[in-house]
Amino acid sequence: MKKAKKFIVILSMVAVIAGGLATVGICYEGDVEIIDTPTAASVGFGSYDLSFRLYDEGSIMARLLYGIIMKDLTLGISFDAENVVGSGEVKAHRPYLYIKLPLYSGGYKLPAISVGFDEQGFGRYNDTDKHYQFNPMGFFMVMTKTDLGPGFNMGAGINADYSITKTNKERVKGFVNASFTLGPEVMLRTEVRDIYNWNSYVNAGVRYMLTPELHFDFSALNIGGGDVERIIRISYSGCF
């Protein structure tokens, strides 16, 4: 129960701080990630992105990304807890680090390039080996090309999933992702991740942009893998 109370307190503090920091104006500069895979975009200097992800077993994951240290450097933290919604004991997990540094902003023909580190895993958490169902990205390098067509962006990258356990050792994998904007309010998003030795899984979803700052994502994970998980994510961007 102590962990549960700490999680609720931290979640409330993050929401209050983010709300207090918001100012009038549009701070959204592009997708930092598609669903579970990153893009080359960063949170702009003096801005933040706060999201809440609702997933299996009444769990909630909160993530705060911000750009306050130097131009284009994104730092962040995420934390999650099981059984927040519904019955059962709330189980909170430790916070996880996120960092992304752009190397090249892109050009007319060349894609933007970024490197980073994300230690947040996804899906069910195994208390025995301290491991998530879906591995974290770990160390990654990603290239993203925007405006390949009207509203169409695409990216690809490699990552070392940083998920060393008794049964799963760290290895280099690949991923690709894409987004397509249908209009001012709707965006389609898809990705293929953990590409290694002909093994991978597909995620896909749709984003509803209520305002330029407030977005709602509805996604399905591990499509075709026999254990599809449906998630909802609410994200809000603002300026310091």
Find the CATH number of the domain harbouring 11. Answer: 2.40.160.40
pLDDT at 7 over 60: no
Q: CA-to-CA distance for 2 and 81, rounded, in angstroms?
A: 12
* pLDDT level of residue 143 (50, 70, 90 thresholds): very high
Question: Domain range holding 204?
Answer: 2-239
Residue 134's pLDDT is 84
Number of domains in the chain: 1
Q: Give the residue, 183 or 235, on which the prediction is more confident.
A: 235
Can you tell me the mean pLDDT for 176-200?
91
Instruction: Based on DSSP, count helices (H) and strands (E) in the chain, helices before strands.
Output: 1, 15
pLDDT category at 109 given cuts 50, 70, 90 is: confident
The pTM for the full model equals 0.83
pLDDT at residue 16 tops 70:
no
At 20, is the pLDDT very low, low, confident or very high (cuts 50, 70, 90)?
very low
- On whether the CB atoms of residues 199 and 163 are closer than 8 A, the answer is no
pLDDT of residue 169: 63
CB 166 within 8 A of CB 154: no
CA distances 169 to 133, 142, 150, 172, Å, are 14, 22, 41, 10
120, two tokens: 């947040």
CB 190 within 8 A of CB 34: yes
Which residue did the predictor score with more confidence, 122 or 190? 190
Q: How confident is the model at residue 12 (pLDDT cuts 50, 70, 90)?
A: very low
What does the pLDDT read at residue 38? 96
Using CA atoms, how far apart are residues 183 and 120, in angstroms rounded to an integer?
Answer: 31
Mean of all residue pLDDT scores within the chain: 83
pLDDT at residue 8 tops 70: no
